[in-house]
Amino acid sequence: MPEYRRAYVPGGTFFLTLVTFERQRLLAETDNAARLRLALAAVKRERPFQVVAAAVMPDHIHFVWALPEDDGDFSSRVGRLKVLFTRSLSESHTEPGNSRSRLRHRDRNIWQRRFWEHAIRDERDLERHIDYLHYNPVKHGLVSCPHLWPYSSFARWVRRGAYTTSWCCVCEGRTISSPDFSDISDTVGE
């Protein structure tokens, strides 16, 4: 089996995708979204980094993280986030029937063991991944427009002037064509 090597770039910016075990809709629960937020804040206190953009979906999360100049270790931060979130859940979220491998690794049935990462190459790459992340709730049929999804950084980016609230919006009878993300489809982990 080929050995996978992650792209650790000190001071890098990374697009990350974390998926729940068997695509459980754990993150659709408001309490769990709050638990995730607390876990993320704890990880940021322990090992600072910037959350550039985020979208929390019912069964997965997309992040863009910017790491400190001398630090490229996003993996341990992701691992810590998963651990803190998992610990915050009640035992009722652990399904029986773990495989031997998951038991040996002390994995509960909360997260897929691995995650997807992409090292952002340049400003255009960053822009495309942030657009993808903000459009993701529409892509998955959760809302009709990005501004309607409460669990993303879209509103923050609107306040910064990077988007208007009408970006990819069909409110008031607007017609849009869905963005084409085929140029980054191999980097987003879905």
Active-site annotation, residues: 151
C-alpha triplet 74, 76, 77: angle, nearest 5°: 60
Q: Which residue has the tokens 């069909």?
A: 170
| Beta bridge mates, 50 | 66
Chain centroid offset of residue 144 CA: 20
Closest CA to 64 of 136, 148, 133, 1: 133
Which helix (H) or strand (E) covers residue 156, if one does? Answer: helix 154-160
Q: How far apart, in whole angstroms, are the C-alpha atoms of residue 67 and residue 106?
A: 28
